Amino acid sequence: MTLENLSCQKSFGGWHKRYRHRSATLNCDMVFAVYLPPQAEQGQQLPVLYWLSGLTCTDENFMQKAGAHRIAAELGLMIVAPDTSPRGVGVPGDPDGAWDFGLGAGFYVNASEEPWARHYRMHDYVVQELPALIEANFPVSGKRGISGHSMGGHGALVCALRNPGRYQSLSAFAPISNPMACPWGEKAFSRYLGEERSRWREWDASVLIAGAREKLPILVDQGADDDFLATQLKPEVLQAAASAANYPLKLRLQPGYDHSYYFIASFIEDHLRHHAQALGGRR
């Protein structure tokens, strides 16, 4: 696959780059960002942390707002941030013009329903196509971690839980923990996956954790003053499911913090060190 470099900026001794490529999985052009720490130019093979962003975001939000580059440079972690959905001419959005479905809101599932099924296969893109592209074009070690925020936190949890052995580390910020039972998830799942709710279970982390064949330690941070906490995020459901399954989940409720990137920037260092410990980078 051909990569088109869109931009390149020096950052903490490394490079932040954006690329466009044609995705066979999503049947459209896709853009992703990569942070290459200084060790990439020193001949080292580096672990990769995949970051999945939330509703309305693109690859740019995390790279510009999270303050992750400094710590990633220290730890020797490459960071890859894909877009949150397919985009472009012919890719259907929300027929009602809302922001919580369609463009910018792919929910990291493989859609089975028309007209979404042709393009909205973000799970396969994140888990298979994008890593293959990264591993063919960048100096990587083959070790992968995954994290994300909100809808992306849901995506990170589901990608790891559905694909044992694929990732060596896992974390999330304010994930949509029980999408089967919240308005954002119900809207997305009913359209992408159809009205049969039994099919939704394979895309809900609070359900998947009960039957997990691999138990990667999970670090989750949640703002206690998050406006979406009670109605959309429901971390208590994930915690209860993890406790029942004896799954190693560390859930931290952070007083005073909301859903914003101020929250993410405040705790991103903890998460990067969590991943580095598992991926073999510096801590």
- Catalytic residue list: 150, 226, 259
Residue type for position 193: L
The answer to whether residues 173 and 153 touch, using CB atoms and an 8 Å cutoff, is yes
3-state SS of the chain is CCCEEEEEEEECCEEEEEEEEEECCCCEEEEEEEEECHHHHHCCCEEEEEEECCCCCCCHHHHHHCCCHHHHHHHCCEEEEECCCCCCCCCCCCCCCCCCCECCECCCCECCCCCCCCCCEHHHHHHHHHHHHHHHHCCEEEEEEEEEECHHHHHHHHHHHHCCCCCCEEEEECCCCCHHHCHHHHHHHHHHCCCCHHHHHHHCHHHHHHHCCCCCCEEEEEECCCCCHHHHHCHHHHHHHHHHCCCCEEEEEECCCCCCHHHHHHHHHHHHHHHHHHHCCCC
CA-CA-CA-CA torsion for 7, 10, 16, 22, nearest 10 degrees?
30
